[in-house]
Amino acid sequence: MALLDSLFGKKKKEFKAACQITKEPIERNFGYLLTTAQVVTSKKYWDMIMTEPETMSYTVSHFKNQASGTQMRSMIFDKYATIAKAWIISDSIISYFDVDKTTARENAKKWWASEGAFAPENIGPAMQTLEATEFTQLKEYAILEAGRSRVKV
């Protein structure tokens, strides 16, 4: 029976990851680990999120002064700003964030070694980890201004 178990037994599933923004696979020991606060403080990130094909109609509606578009942008902001876990980010998108890349890479390696259990300092929803004034300013940018330069109204 032990021979059959060793031949047909379940193997431990390999720990894999994909970038939480681009969805591209990240190879073991690569990528960067960021907190929600580090992600949501990036204006480049919000410009990208609010002008993706899935969100562009809300952005156009918002800039045409339609309350429904602004309401949806607020919901999009809340969706991302309330994430409590760390974000594994690919090399292709890290330039959107003003972070210490060396520390973010080291944290990613710790995250990989712990199979996703490692959590960097200041983890949690952005509202809990940022100063109230900074949070309010970034929320206003994300909801009211992000993507303006990419929209013809």
Query: Residue 142 pLDDT more than 60?
Result: yes
Q: What is the pLDDT of residue 84?
A: 96
Least confident of 122-126, 138-142, 148-152: 148-152
**In angstroms, what CA-CA distances link 123 with 20, 83, 119, 137?**
16, 9, 7, 20
How many residues in the chain?
A: 153
The single-letter code of the amino acid at 73 is: R
Q: Give the pLDDT band of residue 35 (cuts 50, 70, 90).
A: very high
**Residue 77 phi/psi, 5° resolution?**
-60, -50
Q: What is the pLDDT of residue 3?
A: 53
Query: Residue 10 pLDDT more than 70?
Result: no
Q: Which long-range contacts (CB under 8 A, 24 or more apart) does 11-17 make?
A: 15/112, 15/115, 15/116, 17/88, 17/112, 17/116
With 0-12 / 13-18 / 19 or more C-beta atoms within 10 angstroms meaning exposed / middle / buried, residue 64 is exposed
Give the pTM: 0.87
